[in-house]
Chains A and B, each alone.
Chain A
């Protein structure tokens, strides 16, 4: 249902205020729906037209239950599309709705202007419907069991993509090894021994030989986009190949939302606060607003609330750039009192946060703007599992620890780095994946599950080399059983 007129007016007013503040959102279409519709659309990840799959039903059951038990409700949902779509929950009070509308406009501003969203499909609503229609056609032909089972298989692999590949040149450079002669630097005869000494020629020869070996490899370079490799090279039926590409495409579409969770929610929270408290609410509504806002920004032990961290960081950046707390002079200053009182009255805060929302993602955002002072002020800590006590415990408050742990979690979405290393392993068309071990072991029982899915796609034995319990290990699955064998692990 589209907005009733009183909400329409409020929405128009909020939009105007947002534009005055410099936000530049997509055109946003609001619909107001009841909780059951909200749960349904949320179960579909925002797209009511998605392909059929049981996990949406599971999602729905959980959302519906937690709503019925009063544990949670979804206030709002917004879809990255041009125009954007946003859903409001019918029966929310007016202050809720105002908060949500302002929040949504900041999101659609972020979708439109953040660099990491720039390659996403802005007609995704149509594309999703298209995917849905294609999958439904396969279901009609092959039956739900078979198609759904294959979708399960693909979903096991859907985090094996290269989040940066939308921004890199996709063409592979031509292999340069067809040379038969050893390349050497041009020189006059009498200078030959000096300019191209024998060691140099040997080195060149060796390089050429190495290159030859490398070019015979398949793939030539380790491939992070495992899904793409499978789409291109796995022996799949055409419908299977289509389903795999659909899942891959959707994974890439959703990736920037995961990559910018803190920034995006922080940005939306920053603006709903600012727009509402300065321009929209009257005195009688402030308490209600404070109540909602406190709920949005609440944090529980051991959980990092992206809304809270995001908004605090933007405010910190704004304050620092307003006061000139950056640059060499600031960095070199050791005097605490001077630092506290520091104010160069630059007033660059607003400009800076707009620039940040344009160019950064969560990893670069945290890396650049999370400061020691910020961590202390916001009581941030690291925690870990204490095997002795059987509890999760706070284990430190050191700046470097907090920051690197946070970055670890955000990098690659906290997913392990997995590459296709060899598509013709043992010269037997087996598949070899490589886990780039960065200090944390894989969960082996999940890894087995993934290998099974991978085998379903590759149809030949599949292997992954990793480092486990301080030893190199190859886990293999040949379609019937798993084997583990020792290997010398060399990280790529």
Chain B
């Protein structure tokens, strides 16, 4: 009979190869954002190009095939590129490429290796605790489905020997109700370090679809990485034009406002959220702000700098600003930040000209290990 280890070995090799391919193509995945749409709770679906073995074959569109069933000439057999199989099943394999499930943890690991991201030393004490239950205890009552056979047997054996009922020539053990032992859970408190990401985005008229898509892709990778570094990760979302408001993730990526831009409004709101919900001794705080670099006035910009220096920076691990280029923005804000915080390690800025720049931008943001 088959030795199950054998297929496990081949399976492991396959996973290794997939991992290698992801690594090789990480820049591409980071650029096209295809996989961010296929995210489950703990896994993400990743299309792997060309893992199939190339063989001489016909170009597929020319061929078509033979089918059987109802239908008249001209009837469609189904939509789109994939099309029906051609006679024999499996002939179209490879055409579609292969989608594999990759655990987000693993993806983060690959990302860490490829981008050479340092691990983060969580700040503060691990004061927050989560309660985990583990089935490691034993009780004398419980449901039959949790009965611990070995322990029950032992109890019964002990009892029968000590009461002289045990006959070595006829070793039948009959447990009574008192002998029965059941598995049960124990609760353990595990300290963990938590982090919150506060995403802020300029949704004024000058930020277009493409700019938002870039922000969306970036946030996916930032989430993935920080989630691998902290046990508990929360995200909060703030959109702003001249005023700021907190929204959910979906709204964050799909809102478009018109009108002016007051960046300070967002920073104020972020500060308020941190003060209300995330005491710094318990939380690692990561504010990320994305905009096209246009701000309403010089006055507002200096207001921003003030909030950063006095409010946000003291409470955060670092502050990240990503400037996406738009045809309308002046791109002034990044210069202002650079000027003001050239000496400050914890302010990280990155200019994201287009999708190709996402890879380097992520590297800049997360490369400090703060």
Contact = CB atoms under 8 A, between A and B. Distances in A.
Nearest to B10: A57
Interface residues of A, number: 80
B7 A43 contact: yes
B80 to A, nearest CB: 7
A445 B1 CA distance: 41
A292 to B, nearest CB: 19
Contact size class for B? 35 or more
Interface in A400-435: 402, 405-406, 409-410, 414-416, 418, 435
Contacts, number: 218
A166 interface: no
State the main secondary structure of chain A at its contact with B: mixed
A393 B75 CA distance: 5
A380 B68 contact: yes
A409 B13 contact: no
The residue in B2, B71, B91 that gathers the most chain A C-beta atoms within 10 A of its C-beta is: B2
Interface in B59-74: 59-74
Interface string B86-112: 111101000000101000000000000
B135 interface: no
Contacts of B16: 54
A40 B2 contact: yes
A302 B10 contact: no
Contact of B66 (A41, A409, A440, A442): A409
A220 B61 CA distance: 36
B11 A406 contact: no
A61 B100 contact: yes
A363 B58 CA distance: 19
A143 to B, nearest CB: 12
B80 A390 contact: yes
B340 interface: no
B54 interface: yes
A378 interface: yes
A303 interface: yes
A290 interface: no
B2 A442 contact: no
Nearest to B75: A394
Interface in B1-22: 1-4, 6-7, 9-17
B51 interface: yes
Interface in B32-66: 50-51, 53-66
B83 interface: yes
B66 to A, nearest CB: 5
Contacts of A61: 11, 14, 100
A256 to B, nearest CB: 15
Nearest to B80: A390
A301 B88 contact: no
Interface string B72-85: 11111111110111
B49 to A, nearest CB: 11
A351 to B, nearest CB: 28
The residue in A36, A40, A435, A441 that gathers the most chain B C-beta atoms within 10 A of its C-beta is: A40
Contacts of B59: 440-444
6 contacts: A54-B14, A61-B11, A156-B55, A380-B67, A383-B65, A410-B87
Interface of B: 1-4, 6-7, 9-17, 50-51, 53-81, 83-89, 91, 98, 100
Would you list the 10 A-B pairs with minimal beta carbon distance, nearest first? A302-B84, A449-B54, A57-B14, A384-B64, A57-B10, A57-B11, A48-B2, A54-B13, A302-B77, A391-B76
Given A54-B10, A395-B73, 14 more contacts: A1-B1, A43-B7, A48-B3, A54-B14, A55-B14, A58-B14, A61-B11, A159-B56, A160-B56, A302-B65, A303-B89, A418-B56, A443-B57, A452-B54
Interface of A: 1, 31, 33, 36-37, 40-41, 43-44, 48, 52-58, 60-61, 144, 148, 152, 155-160, 261, 299-306, 308-309, 378-385, 387, 389-397, 402, 405-406, 409-410, 414-416, 418, 435, 440-450, 452-453
